[in-house]
A = this chain, B = another copy of it.
Amino acid sequence: MQNKLNELKDRLREVYDLNSAAAVLSWDQATYMPSGGAAARGRQMAVLATLAQEKFTDPAIGKLLDALQSYAESQSYDSDDAALIRKARRDYEKKIKVPTKWVTKFSAHTAEIYQAWTEARPANNFKGVADLLKKTLDFSREYANFFPDYEHIADPLIDVLDPGMKASDIQRVFEDLRQQLVPVVKAITEQEMADDSPLRAGYAGSEQIAFGEGIARDFGFDFSRGRQDLSPHPFTTNFSIGDVRITTRIKENDLSDALFSTLHEAGHALYEQGIDPALEGTPLAGGTSAGVHESQSRTWENLVGRSRGFWQHYFPRLQERFPKQLSQVSLEAFYRAINKVSRSLIRTDADEVTYNLHVMLRFNLELQLLEGKLEIKDLPEAWHSRYQADLGVHAPGDVDGVLQDVHWYSGVIGGVFQGYTLGNIMSALFYDSALAAHPDLPEQIAQGKFDTLHNWLKSNLYRHGSKFTPNELVERISGGPLRIEPYIKYLKTKYGELYRL
């Protein structure tokens, strides 16, 4: 049995290492690669992806998993070995249901539509990609139909990034959240808007980076097992538990861009760096889902990094670093600036309160498209009318409408947005549990101390990697199913006080 387990681990480690090598190439492409390297880089990544797919779907892995099934069942559910075999089987069953030919065809299509999108977007020309997007929708349905037992056609697509989550559950949760959020947004945006001009006073890039990295280090980001670089779009990646990298970007006229990107990505990275080293090289050595990952980026960016207590500690330090720009600004004015709420068109620029409305309307449009209730040709209008209804804004063109996000133009339609809002909901749920165990967390944060929170998260969440599904983690940590109440309470308390609701 031990021999078979070792052989399984060896084979899975090879796949893990190939995927990690591909991740290095992808990181390099986004950070340092000169433009002349693009063509070969595409080839190199395709070779690695193909090999990783071949190695993972090798029938020998299926046989090993079969042979190890009774061993896995004889072990405690929480044990590393049981979790490894469980997760590997789940991933394996998913992968072998999707024909390699389909993967190849879909990859080629993705490259084509992505290229078309990079041209259609600046030209505000949705028609230029509509036919290709229709194909994407066809591909998305085909993918779902490789798993014909689904309850909702979106479920197999959601399962890719948020395993075990179902469209019906998410819909119910999101509808609750939406009904609670819309009146809050209305009440806030009827008041005078916060003044965020102090954030636009001109901030030297190198100083911004130094300040942000200092906070990441205070959070517990280990720079001997990670680093930060610049890229056009901030992201987190990892090549092992010992090498977790984040990126940010600098806008000299928007202090919040690099700063909160760094705190956000540092949250993702703390999760990856906090995984039990015993899981290194296995399919368990990574965060368990997009939603749970986002819960951690949002915890450190928002629950911690946009709290008043946090800035009681850091604002004097920020003033010291930027005296010219900030010495005349009060803590309260700064706190209001970084928490400004407004009805906006762009998801990635949205504040905490309106952000989920952006996400949920995309999720609903995905469901309608997959269900056949909405056609691609009617998508731009559906987008505009939903923005009008939920946010009271209307984009002047599709460039800030349906052409806004890269997601549908670089992958499937379905299952790519829900994680953002699931993450927000879970962030408050998990934080509530941490607070129950350590009621003095807010005082610690106000002193720039994060050890207690970081250790609690490591011990209850991070160290497990992918041993448990998102729903299992929610149950283990909060003692029940996913609930929006802590998140609603967090938003209402914070913004109720800020805006005297």
Q: Does A20 contact B (CB under 8 A)?
A: yes
Q: Does A350 contact B (CB under 8 A)?
A: no
Integer count of this chain's copies in the complex: 2
A134 to B32, CA, bound (A): 42
Interface majority SS on A: helix, strand, loop or mixed? helix
A417 to B: closest C-beta gap in Å: 32
Q: Does A254 contact B (CB under 8 A)?
A: no
A18 to B40, CA, bound (A): 11
Q: Does A130 contact B (CB under 8 A)?
A: no
Stretch of A41-49, A80-88, A159-167, A484-492 contacting B (4+ beta carbons < 8 Å): A41-49
Stretch of A91-99, A179-187, A223-231, A332-340 contacting B (4+ beta carbons < 8 Å): A223-231
Q: Which residue of B lies closest to A37 (CB)?
A: B243
Stretch of A21-29, A169-177, A191-199 contacting B (4+ beta carbons < 8 Å): A21-29
A44 to B242, CA, bound (A): 13
Q: Which residues of B contact A248 (CB under 8 A)?
A: none
Q: Which residue of B lies closest to A45 (CB)?
A: B21
Q: Does A204 contact B (CB under 8 A)?
A: no
A33 to B35, CA, bound (A): 22
Q: Does A479 contact B (CB under 8 A)?
A: no
Q: Flag if B281 contacts A32 (CB, 8 Å).
A: no
Q: Flag if B24 contacts A44 (CB, 8 Å).
A: yes
Q: Flag if B35 contacts A17 (CB, 8 Å).
A: no
Q: Which residues of B contact A47 (CB under 8 A)?
A: 14, 17-18, 21
Beyond A35-B224, A40-B280, A41-B239, 6 additional pairs, beta carbon < 8 A: A17-B43, A21-B21, A33-B243, A34-B243, A37-B225, A38-B242
In the complex, 24 of the A-B residue pairs with CB atoms within 8 angstroms, ordered by the A residue number, are A17-B43, A17-B47, A18-B47, A20-B40, A21-B21, A21-B22, A24-B24, A24-B44, A34-B223, A34-B225, A34-B226, A34-B227, A35-B225, A36-B224, A36-B225, A36-B240, A36-B243, A37-B225, A37-B240, A38-B242, A39-B242, A41-B239, A43-B281, A51-B51
